[in-house]
Amino acid sequence: MSSPTPASAPSGPPEAPGVRPPLSRLTARGRHESHRAATPLELFFDLCFVVAVAQAGAQLVHSVAESHAGEGVLNYAMVFFAIWWAWMNFTWFASAYDNDDVLYRIVTLVQIAGVLVLAAGVSRAFEDHDWTAVVLGYVIMRVAMAAQWLRAARSAGPPENTMALRYAGGVLVCQLGWLGLLFLPEGGRGWLFLGMVVLELCVPVFAERKHTSSWHPHHIAERYGLFTIIVLGETIAAATVAVKSGIEENDALGELLPIAAGGLLIVFAAWWIYFVVPVHGYLRSSRQSFLWGYGHYLVFASAAAIGAGLEVAVEQSVGKAHISQLAASAAVTLPTALFLLAVWALHARHFKVGLAEQMVLPTAALLVICCTFLGDVAVLVAGIVLALAVAVGVALTARRSVHGREPATPGA
């Protein structure tokens, strides 16, 4: 990840009209470019990464439905970190250095191939504790990422080239540590994982001590937002397939309708709550962008877990899951509450005025957790709670606008 610490960096050469040369210097882009938007390659990159997210979610469903929630959540957290960290590393690098030449595209496609290898190994990692394919896919992604940083170092002068070399070295050293998952006994893998997470998170801090990369605030906010949309879309797709199967195989429309309606309300409200604030403005001026960038692990992981929870709730309602109604409800309400709290802590709270606005999302999260104990209607009531939270947020913002404190933003 390129450090989300505000910095001024030299702008790359302006794009010439016409066809790009097949190879060009990988120089830093300007932080204040106008009309900076996600590229088709970045969107393709996100869609392929969501394949791995879907595989992790499917295995989480299986683990929770078979009463192995603790082990399933741990494996999910480990796999999702690998997926998310590789995605984030590329995203911040691309925001600073994307020159869209042939070599850049090829190396990015290699990273995509790596995540597909990782995705193919997710089920074996969950079921047989065999991490070979997951680690192999991660090696492919991370070596390609190090190659990008080495290329950036070659095109830069000091101190920027020192930063790029530190990134490349840090990525490769960390990758050696991840290989330990193939050799350590099962009992030691969790401790290795925790240690490697800390080491990975320290690489950007170390690399950018004296020079920071020229990431683009609006571009970064858009990239994170697009990945959130794709993950929420995967949540809807997974839940829809589960409801469809339940209706066709068990003729259980009456039992599944509250879950479907509540799940749809939850996802709609999650989208509204996330996109209610123009977060790129906060990133442009805040020194806490590290926390914002890193904290999205919880946003993405919880958003994907909502879909897994809805699948679990469907399987429990038709008798296919070997868990209680309470556990099935918790599989939906707990990740939903975590999503609300993560979004509030990362950026929503910075745009709220007064105690009433600040408490909307934390209160909604608490009420959603309480919905866990409502039995068959838990998911439906949780969805209604989120819809009401959005309505209350809109009303409070409108009242603030009427009183002339600042322009209205239709939010929660």
* Residue 341 pLDDT class (50, 70, 90 cuts): very high
The domains of the chain, with CATH numbers, are 40-207 (no CATH), 217-402 (1.20.1410)
Q: Which residues contact 98 (CB under 8 A, 6 or more apart)?
A: 29, 39, 42, 104
User: How crowded is the C-beta side of 71, counted as CA atoms within 13 Å?
Assistant: 14
Mean pLDDT of 370-382: 95
Query: Which element (helix H / strand E) includes 289?
Result: helix 289-317
Q: Residue 245: its pLDDT value, please?
A: 83
pLDDT at 174 exceeding the cut of 60: yes
Backbone dihedral region for residue 404 (phi beyond 0: left; psi -120 to 50: alpha; all else: beta):
left
For residue 74 the two structure tokens come to 């741990």
For residue 371 the two structure tokens come to 């919905």
- Nearest residue to 87 (alpha-carbon basis) of 389, 294, 310, 251: 294
Kindly tell me the sign of the dihedral angle through the C-alpha atoms of 205, 206, 210, 214.
Answer: negative
pLDDT at 276 exceeding the cut of 70: yes
Q: What 3-state DSSP class applies to 231?
A: helix
Mean pLDDT of 163-167: 95
Q: Residue 408: its pLDDT value, please?
A: 47
pLDDT at 7 exceeding the cut of 70: no
Q: At what angle do helices 69-97 and 102-120 cross, to 10 degrees?
A: 180
The residue type found at 97 is Y
Radius of gyration of the chain (CA): 22
Q: What percent of the chain has pLDDT over 70?
A: 91
Lowest mean pLDDT among 200-204, 319-323, 378-382: 319-323
Q: Residue 5: its pLDDT value, please?
A: 42
Helix, strand, coil content of the chain in percent (nearest 5): 75, 0, 25
Q: Does the predicted TM-score (pTM) go above 0.85?
A: yes
pLDDT in tens, 90-108: 999 999 999 889 999 999 9
